[in-house]
Structure 1
């Protein structure tokens, strides 16, 4: 698994990609990017391109080999909707990732890890985390 951004003329998607010897496949598109700094829906209303797209109700779980995972990218670990939506689909595992290199010297990464771990404990489900520092 790897995090990536898929960029086109209209904006970009934050995604998780499953990479194997044979292929790379997008398995998840972020449901809730950070409002204002990433998700900027008003740009489209003004005829401008840019910003991350939000897939609010899409892909609450993803298949990874024979496991159903609940992906949470960055900000999604801090808000209620993505985890509740994912838990309704009874996943086998939470996969929490974050791109936190820009938060050096702050507690943001620790808060995200703590929040994701709390969700895992609350729902009694294993968790895997990966953060680039």
Structure 2
């Protein structure tokens, strides 16, 4: 104990003033685990296996994108070409829906009996709408 007090005084150039608290808490369960040998407890980090980087074609991999950075990148405004592409895709989807609706209307308006393909197409359109 005297050696520990001398070491503290040399390291911090002040007398250890909490000896009474140390004596009270030294056998407490919370503090007893800190004095176990290092290889007895669980390790917090897993050991990383070393991989030969000489065989790889590309350069070293960078860090993965974090959660906050990924969210921020989705919130940023898209560049001009990406915005035009998304607009074109939306227009194409609307055109496809309209063409399906027109075909469905034609099938419903048809007075002659429907053949098998027309009937299956009509049922398919009905299931898509619901």
TM-score by structure 2 length? 0.19
- Greater RCO (Cα-Cα under 8 Å, separation 6 or more): 1
TM-score by structure 1 length? 0.18
If each structure's strand is expressed as a fraction of its own residues, which one has the higher value? 1
Structure with higher Rg: it is: 2
